[in-house]
Amino acid sequence: MNAHGQTFVIVGAGLAGAKAAETLREEGFDGRLILIGEEPERPYERPPLSKEYLRAETEQKPFVHERGFYAENDIELWTSTRVTGIEPGLNELLLEGDRRQGFDRLLLTTGAVPRRLDVPGANLDGVHYLRTVGDSERIARRISSGERLAVVGSGWIGAEVAASARQKGSEVTMLEMSSLPLERVLGPEVGTIYRDIHRDHGVEFIPETTVERFEGSDAVERVITSAGAEIETSFVVVGIGVMPRVGLLETAGLRVDNGILVDESLQTSLPGVYAAGDIANARHPLYERHLRIEHWANALNQGPAAARSMLDHEVSYDEIPYFFSDQYETGMEYGGYALDWDEVVFRGDVAAREFIAFWLQDERVVAGMNMNVWDVNEQVRDLIRSEERVDRRRLIDPDVALEELVGQEAGCS
Ligand SMILES: Cc1cc2nc3c(=O)[nH]c(=O)nc-3n(C[C@H](O)[C@H](O)[C@H](O)COP(=O)(O)OP(=O)(O)OC[C@H]3O[C@@H](n4cnc5c(N)ncnc54)[C@H](O)[C@@H]3O)c2cc1C
């Protein structure tokens, strides 16, 4: 494709958008390149916002690129600019303030927003959500003064905020709808490990509870649970998942179903329009279904893949999903995608929280998580990608290198 003289626009100046812009220039795109974001900052990474940045261990905002990067690479970065609509027939974007911007190719990287809790008192002061640098700074001020926190939801955001708050000395109560933290993704075996980690650090974990309402005069003072319990608190962080930001897209004629539907090359149903990152529900060649992945590595890798696709390179995005989490002194990495499994087996020392957990289905590894064991997740993902049956005994034997398990299918008993 000769993109000379063309205008490529990226809507959504987060990690996926910023990495896509970088890749377009690296791949030699020399047309006009505009990166539009509604936040006031240049693109930054979100994982530190529930970890070291939240604990105020660093004042450095976790920017994706140095300040001068965008100008040096002739990338027009329009911050504090919201796109309000797309007119695909005209290849035009509508911007706040009745402005319009044309495009030859468009990449949507609009990410996700926290799901809101719709209960009485949800709008009281002191009920927080965490997505942006500003959110993180507001919560950081509360935890640095050791105020009492109630966390609603014990998914990744809730669990990491609870850990950071405990590390800063807050009393923390965690309310969870199911019986264990992170149970939906990890299942009961590893969910139990996370529950115990939080309890060991003094978090009061309340399972099988939903919020009936928040009460307080000016600001939130207590949470009333579905069981009628009253939990006194100084502030609340709600972490009950995110929703893809499809608002501006639905009228544009794009196929939307749990995010923007894209094919393996990250193209939407409209010619010349692509999507990547948290917003994209992408057909995965290995899993033979659409996956919407809300993790850092997906934004990091899918943005560049979409950029190549915009330049008509042959792209089939087939990365095995990967994410990481840090809570207290416990770090983990998870590779794979598992909705169902037959069993979870462990290699290493579960009691010491140094192990690899494998999710097995039909004797094949469909996901693997290393906790406080490092430099193994790539091998875990190789095992998953191989789709080979594994010898369970050798899988859990720490003396057998994981590399040895790939290509061994014939030897399985
Ligand atoms: C607190 C926190 C901690 C996390 N920790 C981890 C972790 O430990 N490990 C992990 O794997 N993942 C983690 N994640 C998830 C990871 O950060 C996300 O998957 C990643 O940020 C997705 O990047 P993205 O570029 O697709 O979207 P986003 O980061 O959401 O960026 C999208 C951008 O588009 C902008 N935008 C949206 N609509 C418009 C519009 N109409 N006009 C203009 N701009 C618009 C938004 O304002 C936003 O800046 C964490 C997320 C959060 C919030």
pLDDT in tens, 114-150: 999 999 999 999 999 999 999 999 999 999 888 999 9
Report the DSSP beta bridge partners of residue 326. Answer: 331
Closest atom of ligand 1 to CA, residue 248: 41
Average pLDDT of the residues in 338-361:
97
Q: 242: how many CB neighbours lie within 10 A of its CB?
A: 17
pLDDT at 409: 67
Distance set, CA 335 to CA 88, 267, 385 (Å) = 37, 25, 10
Span 379-408, average pLDDT = 94
Q: What distance in Å separates the CA atoms of residue 138 and residue 202, rounded to the nearest whole number?
A: 23
- Return the closest-CA partner of residue 186 out of 13, 312, 336: 336
For residue 181, the one-letter residue type is P
How many Å lie between the centroid of ligand 1 and the Cα of residue 108?
A: 13
CA of 37 to the centre of ligand 1 (A): 12
Residue nearest to atom 45 of ligand 1 (CA): 12
Instruction: Please tell me the distance from the alpha carbon of residue 395 to that of residue 346, in angstroms, as a whole number.
Output: 9
Q: Is the pLDDT of residue 372 over 80?
A: yes
Over residues 189-220, the pLDDT tens digits come to: 999 999 999 999 999 999 999 999 999 998 99
Q: Which residues line ligand 1 (CB under 6 A)?
A: 11-17, 36-39, 46-47, 49-50, 82-83, 109-112, 130-131, 157, 245, 248, 277-278, 294-297, 299, 323-325
User: What is the overall mean pLDDT for the chain?
Assistant: 95
pLDDT in tens, 394-410: 999 999 999 999 876 64
- Residue by residue, DSSP assigns 111-173 as -EEEPPP-STTTTSBTEE--SSHHHHHHHHHHHHTT--EEEE--SHHHHHHHHHHHHTT--EE
Q: 3-state DSSP call for residue 405? A: helix
Which of 38, 46, 322 best tests ligand 1's pocket when mutated (most atoms within 8 Å of CB)? 46
Q: What is the DSSP letter of 277?
A: G
